[in-house]
Amino acid sequence: MDPIWQILVNGVGLGAVYGLVAVGIQLIIGVSGVPNFANGQFYMLGGYVLFLILGFVGIGYFPSLFLCILILAGIGAIAERISIRPLMERPRSAGLISTLALGMFIEGLILILFTAEPKTINTPYSGIILSIGDVSLSVQRIIMAVGGVGAFVLADFFVRKTKVGKGLRAMSQNKQACRIFGIDIFKMSRIAFMLGVALAAFAAGLVVPLFALSPFMGSFIIFKAFAVVIIAGIGEIRGVMFAALLVGLTESLASFYIDPLFRDVTAFLFMICVLLIRPQGIFGEKSDLLFAK
Amino acid sequence: MNRIHSLGHRSIWLIIIVLSFLLPLALQLGYIQHIMIMAMVYIILTLSLNLIAGNTGYVSFAHPAFYAIGAYTSGILLKTSAIPFLGILLFSGILPMAISIALGYLFFSRVRGFAFAMTTLAFNAIAGLILSSVLPNIVKGVEFQGVYAIPRATISIPPLFTFTLTSNIHYYYFLLCITLPFIGLMSRLMSTKVGRALTAIRENELLAEALGINTLNNKVLAFAIGAFFAGIAGGFLAPYITFVSPDLASAYYWVLFFTMLFAGGPGTLIGPIIGATVFSVLPELLRFAPGVSFTPELRQALFGLSLLLIIILIPDGIGGKIKEIIYRRRARA
């Protein structure tokens, strides 16, 4: 396969993962004002839960993935109750620190239970290679691309068209008005958190069969996902998707054409440029959600 | 009111100062002295972070980078130049300060709050990359793993005396001579016009602006003073440990500083001191806990859990709680 195709496919894959983790972050910032720094660790936890389900429950890959998402959404509901809700009325830095602490705790726990050694997950689909012309891809990679885009479209539809989704969007515009109109803001915060964690777990479920499973994969991805949120701004989910793909592509292009070392800071340089030129983000509607302390 | 309040505290501070002078003499163990030195390094770091993150309310992830830049500056200059150590130490504070002023004017004028925190996060990542991958190619004496074999510090006032700091106890008293005035400075600063301006920015930035406070200059000032002392802490570390690694700018350190600051009580003076002391002594004590092997993984899980619980259960940290208890007792009396 041509290197440029390889780079593009990798870039889109990376972008999809950043995007799915970033959508959760964007939803939660919008609804409860808390920047969820633990979302990366939920992504990692999703990978380990899937690893356990595939290892101990004899059901196929797709049912396992579904079960994994449900379990993570449940964990997300508990985590929201413990680490987000008590802090909704406090300065944002409190939520920032509490979710960082939660992430640290989850990562430490996984390190104790599974050690730092990377694990591999094999699905029936990772072995099958499809060849179209001179482009060959494993079926798992196709599942990842289709699943990633599908999850984006579904989340976008959910937020824009359903009643609950409209409630979520209303929350990010005016919390006070939501209270007056009888929207349960705690319930909305819980739903946003569960949705965010579920999307992160889904991303992990798609990616982990392709790469190794490591306790550090959460902290590796979380800051880039935040950079994606800042680049996109707080607003439509489609903005995040676009920014994530942009970051994923520039990252894989930069690491090939400039220097692999450059890869880890591309997203940050990108973010700094956006903040200097358009501080509310490329698609951001208003800046006070990002600028609150 | 404030004056009386600080008078009551004076005796406590006096006890702390006397104890800090006598304790290492009583405990003649190198290991314990090492823990106490590191506790002081973390006190400087946490208190200087407190200025921007606690007093001004702007969370900054850039502190480990300033710490590492200070340590690298000091390590490289000690190895390759003949500048006296006190000059090197000063310079290892000035360089991060200059960087922080440039960053401050660039970002504070455009972004606020959480977005600022993200720019400092980006800066920290980029600085870490430069230290670990770019610097070794440019500067002689810097390896990819860090700066090795840094010579011990020599303090000399030419006609009077020359003295090389070799043992832990030397470094302990040297650092104490920095830490105590630093704590005094921080306590004074908060009761000056600048300190009150910072508090005003934390409580309501728009209102502070409306009252004619130059928020930009004050924020940059807080950021710069913090960076200066973080650099000094790094500059001290280099000849003490005799080895500096790019890990100093890693995520581990800002997590550690945040734990110390937010568990101790951001925005107070005693809080960060308590937080830094507790979280540098506690892990060492736990090492001797029977039946448990205190691995780094367990340490991470425990740090995370304790920080989470403290943030939720005691919002103002240990320092804030102590303040509250003292006030309540005074109100009853």
Total structural domains in chain B?
Answer: 1
Alpha carbon distances (Å) from A88 to A40, A95, A127, B32: 21, 8, 46, 42
- Confidence at residue B97, expressed as pLDDT on a 0 to 100 scale: 96
**Using a CB-CB distance cutoff of 8 angstroms, which residues of chain A are in contact with residue B53?**
93
How far apart CA B222 and CA B224 sit, in angstroms, is 5
Shortest Cα–Cα distance, B23 to chain A (Å)? 33
- Confidence at residue B72, expressed as pLDDT on a 0 to 100 scale: 94
**Chain B residue closest to A259 (CA)?**
B133
> Quick check: helix, strand or coil at residue A121?
coil
Whose tokens are 């690893």? That residue is: A51
DSSP assignment, residue A128? -
Would you write out chain B's pLDDT as a tens digit for each of its 333 residues?
A: 444 445 456 777 788 788 877 777 777 777 888 898 999 999 999 999 999 998 888 989 999 999 999 999 999 999 888 888 899 999 999 999 999 999 999 988 888 888 888 899 999 999 998 998 888 888 887 888 888 888 888 887 777 777 788 888 888 889 999 999 999 999 899 889 989 999 899 888 889 889 888 989 999 999 999 999 999 999 999 999 989 999 898 888 888 899 899 888 888 888 899 999 988 888 888 777 777 777 778 888 888 898 888 888 888 888 888 888 888 888 877
Identify which of A98, A272, A291 has the shortest CB distance to residue B311: A98
Q: Which of A109, A97, A213 is nearest to B295 (CA)?
A: A109
Output the pTM of the full model: 0.89
Please answer whether residues B273 and B317 qualify as being in contact, where contact means their C-beta atoms are separated by less than 8 angstroms: no
Residue B264 structure tokens: 């101790």
The answer to whether residue A107 is domain-embedded is: yes
**Using a CB-CB distance cutoff of 8 angstroms, which residues of chain B are in contact with residue A269?**
122, 126
- Is the per-residue pLDDT at A179 higher than 90? no
How far apart CA B155 and CA A55 sit, in angstroms, is 62
**Using a CB-CB distance cutoff of 8 angstroms, which residues of chain A are in contact with residue B111?**
275, 279, 290-291
How far apart CA A46 and CA A201 sit, in angstroms, is 4
How far apart CA A98 and CA B310 sit, in angstroms, is 9
**What's the CA angle centered on B218, arms B216 and B224, to 5 degrees?**
100
Burial status of residue B231 (CB atoms within 10 A of its CB: 0-12, 13-18, 19 or more): buried
- Confidence at residue B13, expressed as pLDDT on a 0 to 100 scale: 78
The alpha helices in B143-295, defined as continuous H runs, are: 168-189, 193-203, 205-210, 215-241, 251-264, 270-286
Residue A82 structure tokens: 């413990």
The answer to whether residue A56 is domain-embedded is: yes
How far apart CA B62 and CA B261 sit, in angstroms, is 14
**Residue bearing the bigger pLDDT, A273 or A140:** A273
Total structural domains in chain A?
Answer: 1
pLDDT tens per residue across span A209-226: 888 888 888 888 898 899
**Residue bearing the bigger pLDDT, A57 or B229:** B229
How far apart CA A243 and CA A26 sit, in angstroms, is 12
DSSP assignment, residue B151? P
**Chain B residue closest to A109 (CA)?**
B301
Please answer whether residues B180 and B273 qualify as being in contact, where contact means their C-beta atoms are separated by less than 8 angstroms: no
> Quick check: helix, strand or coil at residue B286?
helix
> Under an 8 A CB cutoff, do A265 and B129 touch?
yes
Please answer whether residues B154 and B85 qualify as being in contact, where contact means their C-beta atoms are separated by less than 8 angstroms: yes
- Confidence at residue B24, expressed as pLDDT on a 0 to 100 scale: 74
Shortest Cα–Cα distance, A188 to chain B (Å)? 21
**Using a CB-CB distance cutoff of 8 angstroms, which residues of chain A are in contact with residue B260?**
none
**Chain B residue closest to A276 (CA)?**
B110
pLDDT tens per residue across span A184-198: 888 888 888 999 999
**Using a CB-CB distance cutoff of 8 angstroms, which residues of chain B are in contact with residue A287?**
115
Alpha carbon distances (Å) from A163 to A77, A153, A238, B313: 20, 17, 19, 35
**Using a CB-CB distance cutoff of 8 angstroms, which residues of chain A are in contact with residue B299?**
108
Burial status of residue B193 (CB atoms within 10 A of its CB: 0-12, 13-18, 19 or more): exposed
How far apart CA A31 and CA A185 sit, in angstroms, is 8
In single-letter form, the type of residue at position B208 comes to: A
> Under an 8 A CB cutoff, do B312 and A275 touch?
no
Range of the domain at B35: 2-332
> Under an 8 A CB cutoff, do B121 and A223 touch?
yes
**What's the CA angle centered on A13, arms A8 and A19, to 5 degrees?**
120
Distance of CA B326 to the CA centre of its chain: 26
How far apart CA A102 and CA A107 sit, in angstroms, is 9
The answer to whether residue A229 is domain-embedded is: no
Range of the domain at A41: 3-220
**Using a CB-CB distance cutoff of 8 angstroms, which residues of chain B are in contact with residue A92?**
113-114
Q: Which of A75, A7, A87, A85 is nearest to A41 (CA)?
A: A75
> Under an 8 A CB cutoff, do B304 and A230 touch?
no
**Using a CB-CB distance cutoff of 8 angstroms, which residues of chain B are in contact with residue A233?**
none
The answer to whether residue A188 is domain-embedded is: yes
Whose tokens are 């989340």? That residue is: A155
**ipTM of this model?**
0.85
> Under an 8 A CB cutoff, do A108 and B297 touch?
yes
Alpha carbon distances (Å) from A5 to A133, A270, B148: 13, 23, 43
**Please, what's the b/e burial string for A242-265 (b: 16 or more CB within 10 A of its CB; e: otherwise)?**
bbbbbbbbbbbbbbbeeeeebbbb
Whose tokens are 């190619």? That residue is: B137
> Under an 8 A CB cutoff, do B59 and A96 touch?
yes
CATH number for position B254 = 1.10.3470
What secondary structure, in 3-state letters, does B225-259 show? Answer: HHHHHHHHHHHHHHHHHCCECHHHHCHHHHHHHHH
> Under an 8 A CB cutoff, do B304 and A101 touch?
yes
- Is the per-residue pLDDT at A106 higher than 50? yes
Q: Which of B170, B182, B155 is nearest to B89 (CA)?
A: B155
Residues 6+ apart with CB under 8 A from A272: B119, B122
- Confidence at residue A134, expressed as pLDDT on a 0 to 100 scale: 65
> Under an 8 A CB cutoff, do A272 and B119 touch?
yes
**Chain A residue closest to B105 (CA)?**
A276
Best of B209, B256, B286, B297 to disrupt the A interface (most A CBs within 10 Å) is B297
**Using a CB-CB distance cutoff of 8 angstroms, which residues of chain A are in contact with residue B200?**
none
DSSP string, B69-103: HHHHHHHHHHHH----HHHHHHHHHHHHHHHHHHH
Residue B228 structure tokens: 């200066």
The pLDDT of A31-39, averaged and rounded, is 86
> Under an 8 A CB cutoff, do B122 and A90 touch?
no
Identify which of B107, B113, B305 has the shortest CB distance to residue A105: B305
Residues of chain B that touch chain A, judged by Cβ-Cβ distance less than 8 Å: 53, 57-59, 106-107, 110-115, 117-119, 121-122, 125-126, 129, 133, 202, 205, 251, 255, 258-259, 262, 266, 295, 297-305, 307-308, 311-312, 315
- Confidence at residue B62, expressed as pLDDT on a 0 to 100 scale: 94
pLDDT tens per residue across span A248-275: 888 888 888 877 777 778 888 888 888 8
**Using a CB-CB distance cutoff of 8 angstroms, which residues of chain B are in contact with residue A45?**
none
How far apart CA B200 and CA B327 sit, in angstroms, is 22
How far apart CA A42 and CA A196 sit, in angstroms, is 9
Residues 6+ apart with CB under 8 A from B46: B257, B260, B261, B264, B272, B273, B275, B276
> Under an 8 A CB cutoff, do B304 and A106 touch?
yes
**Please, what's the b/e burial string for A150-181 (b: 16 or more CB within 10 A of its CB; e: otherwise)?**
ebbeebbeebeeeeebebbbbbbeebeebeee
- Return left, alpha or beta for B146; rule: phi > 0 is left, psi -120 to 50 is alpha, else beta: left
Q: Which of B49, B93, B116 is nearest to B255 (CA)?
A: B49
Residue A104 structure tokens: 């640290």
Radius of gyration of chain B (CA): 20
**Residue bearing the bigger pLDDT, A130 or B279:** B279
